[in-house]
Amino acid sequence: MPRASKYPPEFRERCVRIARESERPIAAVVRDLGAHPETLRLWVRQDEADDGTRSDQLTTAEREELTALRREVRDLRRSTEQTRQRSPLQMFESSTQQATPETVASK
In tens, the pLDDT along 15-67 reads 999 999 998 999 999 998 988 999 999 999 999 999 999 999 999 999 999 99
If phi > 0 it is left, if psi is from -120 to 50 it is alpha, else beta; for residue 4 that is: beta
pLDDT of residue 98: 58
Our measurement of the distance from residue 68's CA atom to the centroid of its chain's CA atoms, rounded to an integer in Å, reads: 6
86 band by pLDDT with thresholds 50, 70 and 90: confident
Does residue 105 have a pLDDT over 70? no
* Residue closest to 33 by CA, chosen among 16, 46, 45: 16
pLDDT of residue 3: 74
pLDDT of residue 88: 72
Q: Does the residue 67 lie in any domain?
A: yes
Q: Does the residue 89 lie in any domain?
A: no
Domain hosting 37: range is 9-83
Q: Does the residue 90 lie in any domain?
A: no
Q: Does the residue 99 lie in any domain?
A: no
- Count of CA atoms in the C-beta half-sphere (13 A) of 49: 15
Per the structure, how many domains does the chain have? 1
State pTM to two decimals: 0.66
Q: Does the residue 78 lie in any domain?
A: yes
Residue type, 83: T
Does residue 74 have a pLDDT over 80? yes
CA–CA dist 33, 72 (Å, integer): 39
Going by C-beta distance under 8 Å and a sequence separation of 6 or more, which residues neighbour residue 14?
33
CATH number at residue 58: 1.10.10
Going by C-beta distance under 8 Å and a sequence separation of 6 or more, which residues neighbour residue 33?
14, 15, 18, 40
Q: Does the residue 61 lie in any domain?
A: yes
